[in-house]
Chains A and B, each alone.
Chain A
Amino acid sequence: MPERKRVTRHPLIELTIVRLKEFLREPDAVFWVFAFPLLLTVALGFAFREKAPDKIPVGVAEGPAAQQRMAMLQKSPALLPRLYSLAEGREELRRGKISLFVEGEASPVYRLDPTRPDARTARVEVDDALQGGAGRKDVFAAKEEHVVEHGSRYIDFLVPGLIGMNLMGTSMWSIGFSVVNARLRKLLKRMLATPMRKRDFLLAQALSRLAFLVVEVGVVVIFAKLVFDVSIRGSFAAFSVVCLAGGAAFAAIGLFISSRAKTLEAISGLMNVVMMPMWICSGVFFSYERFPDAVKPVIRALPLTALNDALRAVMNDGHGFVQVAPQLINLTIWTVVTYLVGLKIFRWQ
């Protein structure tokens, strides 16, 4: 075979550069990839910033003991009592406006919905206030020490989740749309009519994603550090490798999903079907520990769960490569399997 004349670079490099340029020339895409995650971090960061817990609204039924009970409950710093008629109070409780309703004549009756988390707290607080008011003496007085440690705040939990979710979304959308668009425009078919190697084309899609990943993860990390003082407690190398592994996995999954789709509507639907369960189950906004034990193995097998767990382990718990090895293996398997299957079933025309 004659030697390739060095007029241009290797096709893989050319394809990657072209993909990067195309992306940067699409202002909408740049917004969604870079600005949107920042806005989301800001909005959620402020929504869930630490503050004193709200007082729990409770109700007291009108009757002979009502005034006395109101006075006792008003002394509690944790409670916000209000007086209701019996019917009114029960209605407010049903609608969730109050967490507990105190009824009863001589000895009180606590009406509450035990499945509501704040109802248990309300019961403890109300009982404490009424018993104390009625003359119960505490056997000892415990002191409270309040702890707000970095790495355990909600924002610390949230930022890795957002990084993971963002890696998933941008990788999959940008690859899915560019591949399906090229297929619609018959550009894939045109490429197939050249000596270009198919794997170069697909690999370039993934490589161009990884180049952006550095920027899009970087802005969130720097922003979270400056505004919320969220920092990476583990090794930076481990953090970088976890991000790369996650980006690669979702790039490969994006290719796999777009390997057959012929319209933008089809790819949008497929993307949502794949991403929606992970948004909900993979611990982006809240921990998946609350799901039943039976489904946890399935949830842990999802790539976004693996990525989020690994990111939190490195960022919050200060863990390194050894501890996140299971997640890295999980992500690598997702990458290799979906890439190979995607390449195999890819529809070029």
Chain B
Amino acid sequence: MSDTAVISCIDLRKHYPDVKAVDGIDLEVHRGECFGLLGPNGAGKTTTIEILEGLNTPDSGEVRILGLTWEADERELRERIGVSLQETQLAEKLTVLETLTLFRSFYREGPHPDDLLRNLSLDEKRNSRVGKLSGGQKQRLAVACALVGEPDILFLDEPTTGLDPQSRLQLWEVVAEFRKRGGTVLLTTHYMEEAERLCDRIAIVDHGKRIALGTPQELIARLDAPHIIEFESTPRLGEEDFASIGGFHGATPRGERWQLRVDSLAVSVPQLLAAVDAKGAKLETLTTHAATLEDLFVALTGRELRDA
């Protein structure tokens, strides 16, 4: 383990009767880093993060947080980490300030609830009932409850799922602010934009296994092709029809469509159209975009993040 690692786990496993939720995951997160676990629903992200948060126990594997273990140092660790769970519904009848004051009372030190509410733009909602808040405000309050003990590490499980774009941006700012003060963040998400925008490094997780690890740029570079062409034709082309296309790196079927990874759109698109013509087929749709983590996930698993 490197000496800057604040979160590390080795060969983490958690099997349930019907599913291997976590099946041998290694992770190392460094101080000050924002690390993302990216994967579809059911990939094992939540089980992994809850084991790291000490809320779930692994069948086997070693976990160290801030150099401590959950077995020996639970109380100390609870003081030093902040957690936002997936789908926690805070008590609806309490106000924002009451909720935050309650959570503050659990920690030996941390910011004053009033200051925290100001920093999270919840000041004008301080006396509103939690039940009356918008989704974005509720989520910011959940993160405020995670920050109220002035943690060294912030764990966020699907922090922006279901939020509108503006609320998502506001939450990203909160995370950025926390990192400016030297905080370490571990988050899970199935939004590739979120992972790309927010994370220094990402582990892509599928079926309880880590299938890729690196910075967003490194991961996208793994596709060895910066551009993606998606098209559909009748009749459908076969994989052998793409061999003649210049700068072609690979194809993945996605339903009726094909997804091709290519070096240059200028070179490949005309040649693809020629290939469609040569086959006597009719082109139905054709779109192109710059390669993303989503495309990497498709290339690695043959499935999409969203519906995998």
Footprint of B on A, CB under 8 Å? 1-5, 7-11, 13-15, 18, 21-22, 25-26, 182, 185-187, 189-196, 349
CB contact under 8 A between A187 and B89, given known A2-B108, A194-B78, A195-B107? yes
**Quick check: B91 and A189 within 8 Å, CB to CB?**
no
Known A2-B108, A8-B101, A196-B106: A18·B94 in contact at CB below 8 Å: yes
**Cα distance A4–B102 in the bound complex, in angstroms:** 14
The smallest beta-carbon distance between A298 and chain B, in angstroms, is: 40
Is B105 a contact partner of A8 (Cβ separation < 8 A)? yes
Q: Is the Cβ of B90 less than 8 Å from the Cβ of A189?
A: no
Is B103's beta carbon under 8 Å from chain A?
A: yes
* B55-A192 in contact (CB<8A): yes
Contact B78 A21 (CB under 8 A): no
9 A-B residue pairings within 8 Å (CB atoms): A2-B108, A9-B105, A14-B101, A18-B91, A18-B102, A186-B89, A190-B90, A194-B106, A195-B78
* Contact call B93/A4, Cβ cutoff below 8 A: no
Task: Tell me, yes or no, whether B104 is within 8 Å of chain A by CB.
Answer: yes
Q: Known contacts A14-B102, A18-B94, A185-B89: does B78 contact A5 (CB below 8 Å)?
A: no
Task: Judge whether B79 and A186 touch: CB under 8 Å.
Answer: no
Q: Please tell me which one of the listed residues B85, B94, B145 contacts residue A22 in the complex, with CB atoms under 8 A apart.
A: B94
Which residues of chain A have C-beta atoms less than 8 A from B78's C-beta? 193-195
CB distance from B301 to the nearest CB of A (A): 29
What are the 3 closest A-B residue pairs judged by CB atoms, nearest first?
A193-B83, A8-B105, A195-B78
Instruction: Please name the residue on chain A nearest to B108 by beta carbon.
Output: A4
* Pick from B53, B87, B98: contact of A186, CB under 8 Å: B87
Cross-chain pair count, CB within 8 angstroms: 86
Give chain B residues whose Cβ lies under 8 Å from the Cβ of A194. 78, 83, 103, 106-107, 149
- Give bound CA distance, A5 to B148, whole Å: 13
In the complex the two chains form, is B149's CB within 8 Å of A190's CB? no
- Determine how close the nearest CB of chain A comes to the CB of B135; give it in whole angstroms: 15
What are the residues of chain B within 8 A of A14 when measuring CB–CB? Answer: 101-102, 105
Q: Given contacts A194-B103, A195-B75, is CB(A7)–CB(B113) below 8 Å? A: yes
Q: Give the distance to chain A from B153, nearest Cβ to Cβ, in Å.
A: 12
Q: Closest residue to A23 on the B side, CB-wise?
A: B93
Closest to B78 in A: A195
Question: Which positions in B face A, CB cutoff 8 Å?
Answer: 53-55, 75, 78-79, 83, 85, 87-91, 93-94, 98, 101-110, 112-113, 129, 145, 149
Residues A187 and B88 in contact in the complex (CB < 8 Å), given A15-B102, A21-B93, A26-B93: yes
- Identify 20 new A-B residue pairs, CB closer than 8 A, beyond the known A7-B112, A190-B88: A2-B109, A4-B108, A5-B108, A7-B110, A11-B102, A11-B106, A15-B102, A15-B105, A21-B93, A22-B94, A185-B88, A185-B89, A189-B85, A190-B90, A190-B145, A192-B55, A193-B83, A194-B103, A195-B108, A196-B106
Q: Smallest distance from the beta carbon of B167 to chain A beta carbons, Å?
A: 20
Chain B residues whose CB sits within 8 angstroms of the CB of A15 once the complex forms: 102, 105
- Chain A residues positioned under 8 Å from B104 (CB to CB): 7-8
CA–CA, A106 and B255, complex, Å: 104
User: A349 contacts which chain B residues (CB < 8 A)?
Assistant: 55
A195 to B88, Cβ gap below 8 A? no
A114 to chain B minimum Cβ distance, whole angstroms, is 59
Select from chain A the residue with minimum beta-carbon distance to B86.
Answer: A186
List of B residues within 8 angstroms of A185 by Cβ: 88-91
Q: CB within 8 A of A1: which of B89, B108, B112, B145? A: B108
Q: How far is the CB of B3 from chain A (nearest CB, A)?
A: 25
Question: Is the beta-carbon distance between A187 and B102 smaller than 8 angstroms?
Answer: no
Residues of B within 8 Å of A3, CB to CB, are 108
Least CB separation from B142: chain A residue: A190
> Which residue on B lies nearest to A3, using beta carbons?
B108
B148, closest chain A residue (CB): A194
Q: Which residues of B contact A11 (CB under 8 A)?
A: 102, 105-106
Name B79's closest neighbour in chain A (CB-CB).
Answer: A195
Compute how far the CA of A192 lies from the CA of B53 in the bound complex, rounded to whole angstroms: 10
Question: Which residues of chain B come closer than 8 Å to A7, judged between CB atoms?
Answer: 104, 110, 112-113
Contact A187 B91 (CB under 8 A): yes
A5: chain B residues within 8 A (beta carbon): 108-110
Q: Chain A residues with Cβ under 8 A from B113's Cβ?
A: 7-8
| A191 partner residues in chain B, CB cutoff 8 A | 106
Q: How far is the CB of A285 from the nearest CB of chain B, in Å?
A: 35
Shortest distance from the beta carbon of A231 to any chain B beta carbon, whole Å: 38
Instruction: Give the chain A neighbours of B107 by CB distance below 8 A.
Output: 194-195
B28 to chain A, nearest CB (A): 22
**CA gap between A312 and B101 in the complex, in Å:** 43
CA distance A196 to B102 in the complex (A): 10
